[in-house]
Amino acid sequence: MPPIRQLAFVVNAQKAGASELANALADIARAAGVAVQVTSEPTIPPGWLRGQDACCVIGGDGTILGVAVEAARAAVPVIGVNRGSLGFLTTFSDEEARANFSALLAGAYQVTPRSLLSCSAGATPGDLALNEVLIKDEAGLRLVRLEVFADSEFVTEFSCDGLIFSTPTGSTAYNLSAGGPLVHPGAEVIALTPICPHTLSNRSIIFHHGVKLRVRPRSSDARLLVALDGQRSLHVGASASVEIAIARERLLLVQRPDYSHFAIMRAKLKWSGSTAAEKRGG
């Protein structure tokens, strides 16, 4: 891969050791002749990543979610270094980052694209989500009755606490907690998972890549909360429809050359079994 010559750091200073690690990695980058810019602001402004070869995010998956939309729009690859807990997106550990950063800057990495969702509601400007779009009652106090359409074809009506529309990346987040399926990140699909459905036969549905989904409340006076990645929300007027599709943009994730999705899953989800190489520590 091309060497990295312009590098932005986004640091979650609330995470223990994140600032110290950022300083150490920035020193490695500067010693290699890489131009560096650093911020610890939780939200980066539009255009801040312009001209950067990569963005190194130090924190947890939530920190990456705060950067993902701007990075995707700027087509800047993201290096995730974990100083959080689970870390499905921040796949580099502190030790791996320190040991491999010079080689990574020189081009020893691979880039894997991750799909995002585009979401709009009525006249409200649309937005993007890396993990999921959540639709529920605005006050969160009652069941919602939501009709779902796929490419204008009626799918079904859900009576539930809400609906989660998830990307493959987000399948390990809220979707997993709600009993939804795990989806390989290379499968560009949308997973729909109802939260506590009133009808027990309502289960997750997987929609194809090009689908255009539309969700509308059955009640004309219903007011919906539409949350994106648990960080941003859309204002939805009464009886307005919500439209969801796979976005044109992709988040580019930087991974080690030997990155294995299923090795990460085994480690993070505590699955049983390991390969001979993993048993040897290789």
Q: Which residues are catalytic?
A: 61
Tokens matching residue 135:
């639709």
Which one-letter amino acid corresponds to residue 183?
A: V
Closest among 112, 115, 131 to 189, alpha carbons compared:
115
Taking the mean position of all CA atoms in its chain, how far away is CA 55?
15
Closest among 165, 129, 167, 169 to 261, alpha carbons compared:
169
For residue 41, which phi and psi values (nearest 5 degrees)?
A: -70, 140
Q: CA 6 → CA 26, 51, 134, 227, 229, distances in Å?
A: 11, 7, 36, 33, 28
Calpha distance 24→6 (Å, rounded)? 17
For residue 146, which phi and psi values (nearest 5 degrees)?
A: -125, 130
For residue 179, which phi and psi values (nearest 5 degrees)?
A: 90, 15
Taking the mean position of all CA atoms in its chain, how far away is CA 160?
24
Tokens matching residue 198:
């009133």
Residues 6+ apart with CB under 8 A from 198: 143, 159, 160
What is the sign, positive or negative, of the torsion defined by CA atoms of 146, 150, 155, 161? Answer: negative
The answer to whether the beta carbons of residues 100 and 258 sit under 8 Å apart is no
